[in-house]
Structures are given as structure tokens and as C-alpha cells.
Homo-oligomer: A and B are copies of this chain.
Amino acid sequence: MLFLTGWRQSLRGQTPRSVSRLYSSSASAAASQGKSRFVPQDGTYPRDFKVSGIHCGVKKNGKPDLSVVVSDSACNGAAVFTKNVFQAAPVTVSRQAVQDRGGRGIRGIVTSSGCANAVTGAGGMEDARSMAQTLDAQLEDTKNDELLRSLVMSTGVIGQRLPIDKILSGIPKAYKARSDTHEAWLDCAKAFCTTDTFPKLLSRTIDLPDRPGYRIAGITKGAGMIHPNMATLLGFIATDAPVSPDAIRSILKHAVDRSFNAISVDGDMSTNDTIALLANGSAGGPEITESSDGFVPLRDAVTAFAIQLAQLVVRDGEGATKFVTVRVRDARSFADAKQVASTIATSALVKTALYGQDANWGRILCATGYAGVPVEPFRTNVSFVPTDGSPTLALLVNGEPESVDEARASEILAMEDLELEVSLGTGGGHSASYWTCDFSHEYVTINSDYRS
């Protein structure tokens, strides 16, 4: 679970700990090739944000391992972080930076991949702070500012110190290389990757009812297991809309609760998870606050965008062959609906059944029954919903098993994308979605044989 820095730490739900690696089997290689369709060929990026991704020497394979994201002008911003007790140094430094600044005056983010700077003690804290200070030093107007203007993120192996000299000497190079082109954004996304099979980048234009043309872009990563390892989920979203610090925090909480906190690959929560939202206002217009007419439309647009971004992490889950939406309806609250969805989405029995394309509705019902929220057993419904627009297949109707058409079930389960729908029958009417992948032999291989 990610939670909001400083003021608001009330996010609830399961943590996304999402991971990916280059697969060894031919079937997986084919699947991974097919994922290039999720990499955009171009984009329209928020004004006055310049980014880069370079190789500075953390990764041994020469791939991009250092990125900067810089706004020409000061941003309002917020960030959510892992709730893991063992928080990596960059998490501690970035949380403090956002808090000290009251969510104002943030200029950029520096990210390194290949080493997570986690469980590294006081030296690791100094390394993380130096990274932010070094990016700050590139910004002319912050020379005499005591407070950090840059956030810092790292991902990769834990329990090892960063090769900090390489990183600190790389930051000015990355700063000079910054640009607002699509290529620069793609390089930046590549520098977030550890063992992702594709870079995760999205951009959109957001048209609010009273003002068209705000732009939004985001980058995230699937996390890889690197000995002695922990997965890490990093990401940021940048927009040129003008948004107040309070509104940004509120929007980010709402969006992450429904996106990055509603995905699962295997249910483990990392030490480094961080998602930031920066708004520099370069598109002009009056500042959007929580009481503005534009607030709810902007919040919902950012949420929809964050959901698409987070779904890319599930697409690249370790060993994943399926992308599965778990939709829970008719709960007494959003939190209840999400709790059930999360329980189904993280059940090893549900996930192995999806891998085997087995119509095991009993496992879905079982997970629903132990989620710990109110359910009406004799008004519960379970269905498979195909994503090609063909009819839904009911499996359990008002608590009574249907006589299932196995051929039809097999058709739906053979699809790469599908949806499990559970209605709890409480009369409460609340819904939630969760996105997950299946649990394959390849997952066990990736996570057991890494060092052999």
C-alpha cells in the first residue's frame, strides 16, 4: 500500500508490489514481444516539463539507469509512499522534502535504477539527500534554498550502497540532456525500468468542462526481483494544469486508491514504493482548488489516467499470461468492495485457476467469503465477463450454482483479458475494481531460481 505524505496517511487497501523480468521460455518471450503494443509511438506532453534518461553506470548492461524530470517553473506537488516499516532512504528524503515545502516549490525528480538504496543505514540517507541536492544545484534559482526542491527515487537491489559517485556525476549530464520530446520521455521511462519487459509511459490531453487542453503524462515501472531483493513500484504523473497543494493531495489520494493501490501481482509490499504528482500550471488559467468547479472533473480525469498507468504494471507482472479485472458490486461501501476485490485478486488459488483456465468459481466464492466484509450468501452472484462484448457467463446466481456451459467458460478463460464480477447482494450498491494477473509456473521459476 502506498500512503500519502505528511498530512494525509489514511489510504487503505492492499499494496501493489509488482514485478517483471525478461522471460526465458519461448512462450513468454512471444508474450513479451506482444507487449510492445503498450509502448506509445508519440505523445503530447505537459508544457515546460523536460526529462531525460541516461546510463551513468549503476546497471552493468549499459541500459538507462538515471533520469531527471524537471519543470522550468515551480510545481505544486504531492507524493504517496510505501507503508512498509522498512522504508528505503529515498522514501524518507522525498517524504521530508514534500512535507517541509508544504507541497509547493518542487522543481523535479531524480531517479536511479539498479540499486534500491534500502536497508543502507545513515550512509544511504546521505546518498539519497546528495542526489536531490545535486539536481537542485543545477537549478539556478535554488542556489540559496535550504529546503530540497527535488524528490528522489531509487529501485533495484536492497542491502547495498549506491555507486554514488557515478550517480552524482551523472546528474548534471542527465540535466543537460533534458528535453520535451517524445524520445526524451521514452528514455526517461526506460531509466525507470529494472527488469521490466517494456517501458511504461502514457500521455493524454485533459479537457475540463470550462477549460480544454490541459496535458498530463506519467511514467511507472514494473518491479523486478533482484537479490537480495525487493520489488519496487515507482512512478510519477506530471501535468501543466494549475492545482493548489491541497487539491493535489486530495486528487493523488483518490487516484492512487483506485489505481496503484488496486493492482496486485503477488501481494507483497516493497520498501521503496513512491508515486508523485506534480503540477506546474504552465497551461495557465486560475488555480484549481478543492472548491473549484473543475476539481471533480480533474480528479476523475487524473484517476482514469492513473488507472491506465497502473494497469501497465499488471500487464508486465512476473510470469503473467493474463490481465484480469476483478469487479465487486453491491457492497456496503467502496472500502468493503475493494477489500473483497483485493482478496480475490491476491488469492493463490484464484490466480492458479486463471493460469490453468479453469472455471473454478468455488475459489472466487471462497475468497469472497473470507474477505471479512458483509456479504449476503443467498444473494451473491459470480460471473465471468468477456472483454470482447459477448454475453456474460453466470456461475452462481443468488447463492445457487448454475449449470455452467463449460465450452463457453473455456472460450472466455482462453482470452488474454477477462473480468471476474462478484455482486455481494448487500443492497449497499458500492463497487470497486482491482486488476491482477495469473500465477504461473514462470512466476515460481523467476522467484525461486534467480540465483541458481
Contacts and interface: CB of A to CB of B under 8 A. Distances in A.
Interface of A: 1, 15, 82-86, 119, 121, 158-159, 225, 227-231, 266-271, 347-349, 352-353, 355-363, 365-370, 372, 375, 377, 380, 396, 399-401, 439-441, 443-445, 447-452
Given A362-B159, A377-B85, A444-B444, A348 B119 contact: no
Contacts of A158: 362
A338 to B, nearest CB: 17
Given A85-B369, A363-B230, A358 B451 contact: yes
Contacts of A360: 227-229
B365 A86 contact: yes
B355 A444 contact: yes
11 contacts: A84-B370, A85-B375, A86-B366, A86-B368, A121-B399, A228-B359, A229-B363, A271-B369, A348-B443, A357-B452, A443-B444
Contacts of A369: 84-86, 269, 271
- Give the secondary structure class of A's interface: loop
Nearest to A116: B362
A399 B119 contact: yes
A370 B15 contact: yes
A398 to B, nearest CB: 10
B439 A444 contact: yes
Contact of A358 (B271, B370, B396, B450): B450
B230 A366 contact: yes
B358 A448 contact: yes
A130 B417 CA distance: 45
Given A353-B448, A363-B268, A439-B444, A358 B227 contact: yes
Contacts of A450: 356, 358
Given A86-B369, A368-B85, A356 B400 contact: no
Residue of A353, A357, A448 with most chain B CB atoms under a 10 A cut-off? A448
